[in-house]
Amino acid sequence: MEKAAERLIRYAGINTMSDEKSDSCPSSDNQWDLARAIEKELIEMGLTDVKLDNNCYLTATLESNTPVKSPVIGLIAHFDTSPDMTGENVKPQIITNYDGKDIILNKKEGIVLSPKQFPELLKYKGQDLITTDGNTLLGADDKAGIAEIVTAVEFFLNNPEVTHGTVRLGFTPDEEIGKGADRFNVKEFGADFAFTVDGGEAGELEFENFNAALATLNVRGRNVHPGTAKNQMINALVVVNRFINMMPPEMRPEHTAGYEGFYHLVDINGTVEEATARFLVRDHNRTLFEEKKERLKSIADFLNNIYGEERIELQIKDQYYNMREKVEPHYHIIELAARSMRQAGVEPIIKPIRGGTDGARLSFMDLPTPNIFTGGHNFHGRYEFIPISSMTLAVESIKNIIINAEGL
């Protein structure tokens, strides 16, 4: 088994699920367990300047061994796994020589990973896969990224005759809840540019992502006895439903792809007296993004006019922006990654991210940070899997990026 795969399996056994309700950093104490384990590993490997700070940001340095002036490269991944599904008691399974048929993840519960639902599985017939046991996520997002970075850097420590410039490693908490870059010290990190290793299928190379906002709708109703409610009751839940029905249905995630933006209803909570709803607002185009936010404000104003008083409060908070405007002026970074992937034997798949990464925030903090693949599929759920061969391609691509950056 490849070293990166061994590391992923070891890391996956440590629960690092982040907590979006927490205001602490990291949001969950268990992220420290993985951070400290990797800190020890990096020190034992022989990296320098290994530092785990008070907020669970771990950094380290692979020192340059060449007199050739070269840029300082950053490699970044995150400890935490999604709070959408438990990361506790993860038990990875290795499916050797996958036969192209259904994979029984959990016989007792009848949980099956099938190419009928996930046809991309058939690309990996004859290969070895790491899967879940059907009860948890796997956590390849982004423990695979960490494992691949560490494995790539270990190569240079074991082969000092291969010359390279300085490489900075950065492992962060809370990316899954949008806080991974909150306390990242770009100046202290000291990289000229960086890559997050946080993508999916082998070959993915991304420097475009959504502009993103969170819209929170609060509705104050009026509750009276239903027997005497005529012209008196204002049901807050009904008002929320009315708000939702005024949003364009074709702009839901299940009806969009590629560069198309969307509104995504995340949750509804409440009673007749008071109700809330949260929406994700997404678009790659900044103008369309602003228009989407204005549409929500117009719906809120319209309903407030109907009810004759300010019963509807809408709060919209921008979360991150499309990194393209910050990365594109440094397009040689993308060319470096693409060339390095081809040398590893994988054709780059340059496409927009229908989501976001720490790299989006970091790019707007003057650290251009596109995203490259880990090789994983179906992140955040029980059907997550990653081919070991794809992890190897990621390691080779990272090694090539480091080598090719010498003298850039």
pLDDT exceeds 80 at position 360: yes
Burial of 241 (0-12, 13-18, 19+ CB in 10 A): middle
pLDDT exceeds 70 at position 398: yes
The answer on 328 and 280 residing in a single domain is no
Residue 234 DSSP class? B
Model pLDDT for residues 264-288, shown as the tens digit of each residue: 999 999 999 999 999 999 999 999 9
Match 């192209």 to its residue by tokens: 100
Domain span at residue 171?
3-208+322-404
pLDDT exceeds 60 at position 1: no
The answer on 187 and 215 residing in a single domain is no
Model pLDDT for residues 12-61, shown as the tens digit of each residue: 999 999 998 999 999 999 999 999 999 999 999 999 999 999 999 999 99
Q: How far apart are CA 263 and CA 253, in angstroms?
A: 7
pLDDT at res. 174:
95
pLDDT at res. 156:
98
The answer on 228 and 365 residing in a single domain is no
The answer on 304 and 369 residing in a single domain is no
pLDDT at res. 309:
79
| Contact residues for 45 (Cβ-Cβ < 8 A; gap 6+) | 150, 153, 154, 157
Q: Which of 78, 131, 70, 168 is nearest to 356 (CA)?
A: 78
Q: What percent of the chain has pLDDT over 70?
A: 100
The answer on 327 and 382 residing in a single domain is yes
Residue 2 pLDDT level (bands cut at 50, 70, 90):
confident
- Kindly list the catalytic residues: 80, 175
Q: What percent of the chain has pLDDT over 90?
A: 95
The answer on 81 and 203 residing in a single domain is yes
Q: What is the mean pLDDT of residues 205-219?
A: 96
User: Average per-residue pLDDT in the chain?
Assistant: 96
pTM of the full predicted structure? 0.90
Model pLDDT for residues 105-163, shown as the tens digit of each residue: 999 999 999 999 999 999 999 999 999 999 999 999 999 999 999 999 999 999 999 99
Assign residue 25 the CATH number of its domain. 3.40.630.10
| Contact residues for 33 (Cβ-Cβ < 8 A; gap 6+) | 14, 15, 16
Last residue of a domain, one of 267, 302, 320: 320
Last residue of a domain, one of 320, 355, 386: 320
Model pLDDT for residues 313-359, shown as the tens digit of each residue: 999 999 999 999 999 999 999 999 999 999 999 999 999 988 878 89
The answer on 281 and 175 residing in a single domain is no
Which token pair is 380? 């955040």
Looking at the structure of the chain, the number of domains it has is 2
Last residue of a domain, one of 320, 343, 361: 320
Assign residue 226 the CATH number of its domain. 3.30.70.360
Q: What is the secondary structure of 351-401 as a DSSP string?
A: ---SS--HHHHHHTTT----EEE---BSTTSTT-EEEHHHHHHHHHHHHHH
The answer on 316 and 335 residing in a single domain is no
Q: How many CA atoms lie within 13 A of 97 on its CB side?
A: 0
Q: How far apart are CA 272 and CA 223, in angstroms?
A: 6
pLDDT at res. 371:
96
The answer on 114 and 124 residing in a single domain is yes
Q: How far apart are CA 51 and CA 57, in angstroms?
A: 8
pLDDT exceeds 80 at position 190: yes
The answer on 204 and 308 residing in a single domain is no
The answer on 386 and 368 residing in a single domain is yes
The answer on 282 and 385 residing in a single domain is no
Contact (CB, 8 A) for 90 and 117: no
